[in-house]
Structure 1
Amino acid sequence: MYNVLIVEDEPPILRGICNAVQQADLDFTVAATALNGQDAVDLLKENTYDLVITDINMPIKDGFYVLDYIAKNNLDTVSIILSGYQEFDYAKKALKYKVYDYLVKPIDKQQLKKILVSIDQYICAQNKEKKREKMFSSLHTNGYMNHMNEALAEKCFMLLLCAGSFPITGFDSMTPGSSLWHKYHLESILHHMIDDNFTWVINGITPAEQIMIIAGNATTCNSLSKSIFNVLTQQEIPITMAISKQIDNYSQIYATQNTLRNFMCQHMIFGNSSIMHYNPNTETPAPLPLFDEQKLRIVLDYNDVTKTRKAVHHIIATFKDKQITQQEMQNELRKILYLIHASSDHSKLNIETVLNEVIVNSFNYNSLTKNMDVLICSAYNKTTLYSSDKKILVKDIQLYIEKHLADQISNQILSEKFGLVPSYISTIFKSFTNTTLSEYIINKRVEKAKELLLSDANLLAKDVAKLVGYTDPLYFSKVFKKKTGYYPSKYKDRH
């Protein structure tokens, strides 16, 4: 129930408003009344109210005195003003205090009910966003916030969703998985399945990940997770979903996310969609040799790129047949890359860097095979990474990025635009710029955001976020602070 404070100096009108609020039969209850602004402020000093309905013209202290107190003390209270006069000066002045609505006496009960319904929805949305902000800070601050020991209002479960391959190192906003979350907004999907007030969606540690927190029991969580899974798996990129044990405190959120990430990293099957329930007793597969290293060495001795590609294709087909985990595949690919590197006179591969690029840019075995082909050709010097046409390509990519900062940019989009496989674009770009595509885009977006913040004082951080390609203002703020040392709102003040 929402507590209401009504401030009106005429008792008959006061009683009428009280009755109208109760008769509206909504989640509002009249918790207190006051006959003037001073009494109302005294009540506000001692109690918390969700809604204040106040007259303007009153003895001792008027309604603006009440609104001024609410504003100066940053109270989490919605306000409605009453007046016996249809004076626009009141409405104009009320805007300064962010008054929700304006009613003219005598009160129309149906009009009041309509406003209360709107306020109910507004408060619900505000409360949900506050919880989301707390959850976001809990996920990203490792427990250094005031609310961390606070219990969650409901028992909850956490779902970690990963689109495509699990990012093995660092932060890459260019993965195929990140593009899926631009296309499929979980909030929109959930809106058709369950009351919005019982689910929260938050960006995960990397752009390929999304965190969903569901309030309810295990049955509700399992049913909802299957419904979401069925919607998301209708497209090409595989989805892996890991479901936590029950959590009931904000302090558990950070650790739960890390636990689910580690669990997913160890157990997700490459190229397949799956739902997994966290179980600490689940055994990690014992490492087993999945290809014959000696046979591959014999092939590599021919120093023939075609024979090498054919041998690697055969090994990858074996991985697919055995439905191995991403971690197993990662370990085997590392062995293959080291063998190729050792056998080639021309190879300049940075094994761990290219391994990461291959993994994050491959969401199935077809894309994995194509990306490995690129690396094999590079190792045999069949592609000239430093030729002049590649320099032109990098310049074209940079120009495209600068023109499309407000749009989604991914390796897949660049691949379609420039007609090259994603891992090849990444390799070329880094070889000429000494930075990854992802880092380059982040830097450009932050620079553009700084320009926008300083050029227009009326622009809000959430507006700037959209203008530089971020759909989540909280996530944008986190990235901006990491790069500049300030949150967007503080950056304005400092410059």
Structure 2
Amino acid sequence: MKILLADDERLIRLGLKSMIEELYPNVHRFFEVENGEKLLEQLETDMPDLIFLDIHMPMLTGLQAFSRFHERQIPVVMLTGYAEFSYAQEALRLGAIDYLLKPASLYEVRATMEKAASLFGERELLLKKDYELEFEKILDLYTSIRFLQTPRHVLPPYTAVLFYIDHYHKETFKNDLDELNTMLSAISSRHGARFTLTFLPTGEICYLTSTAVPPEEFQKELILFHKTSGCVATGFHISAGDLSQLFAQFEAVQKAESLRFCVGLGSVLSEKERLTFSLLLPFSDLLEKLLIARQTDDVIGFQNLLHTLSHFSYEKEVFELCDDSLNRILTMESGTPASILSYGQLLEFLRQMTSQNQSIDLIDKINVYMEEHYMDQIGINTIADMIDISPNYLSKIYKLKTGEKFVDHLTGVRIKKAMELMAGGHTATVRDTAERVGYFSTRYFTKVFLKSTGISPSEYLKGHMLSEGNPAVP
């Protein structure tokens, strides 16, 4: 926690800090002020998680200062003498969580800190939930209608990492996600920041936090993660000063994610590294398409891509830039150890790769599932789990095979079903229609419907009700 010590006596501040440090070594960060005016100034620059506040201070008393910021609901512990108990009662009325008689004992400070920690934990859980839900809403709106609302909780500066999963195993993936969440939670806690971990509609696992975290910090944790995980996770680090910049960076990473097959597989690539190795993109994109063709048993597509790769113009430059990632991904995908040292060896290795996948039309299977479950809260991770493939691979496969994004097709299915329900007289209100096709926000459904059809759902519903001679329902 960030703890603010507000007392005009330096020895009191020092004593409190020493006792808290003795109880919880290297856990909390401390700030100190010696009067009420400086306290209010501090609150404008850095919001603490807990304040120890002396009732009597020069210039502006603790009680006067508290009366000005108590609506912010920052946990406050009042520091008071025996003769000031009535003031302590007033502080409790304003919302102080406790008070300490000076000089406080170690036992009393421990009890107060335990109460504060419990409240802090409860408050953080609620704020983290608000953070997660708001980002999900921002993500939905941006994905569907490119609209960015002003955030209340998901505030800049932003650090994000988009994770791409290779060597996917359905049996261990849930545990892997839990481990990843634990790892990222530890990083966020060290910075005193909230975070969210969610799937983007395009299949990436997205970590987002509202503070600056350097890529090196994720690198260390990811090494530990791979010692126990059943998959290989590669992260692309992003820094952004606002939401527009954040989503622009998401799109830039999505255009460069195939780089992991040539450099940095299983690590976290910084924006600088992503730009440095951008010369590899024509080659890495071809390689990714080859691996997808193999996964989907697309023999003709595989051979055509292999032919294109055999006429690639910059093979020497490619091998000068590649690290061991190329051999690692080919080993994982083929089940055969790869130790490729030349472009010719690469082409020969790829020619010998044979698909072990059962011939199956994944796209048909995905589309049938969407037609049957459009009304449920399904996402790309739901279907990826069903067909035993990583979400980021599924997103790529769907776009390559259909020319359409998975999320756009799902939206199209839902809007088509909504129109059928309203035209057939099966729903009487926009809200009922929205809920029956998988949208739980009528406002959001209205925006998506309007963008897809050029008409609002209420106008569409009214038009069909009037054509059938029924009175319009507001």
TM-score bracket for the superposition, by shorter chain length? 0.3 to 0.5
TM normalised by structure 1 equals 0.43
TM normalised by structure 2 equals 0.44
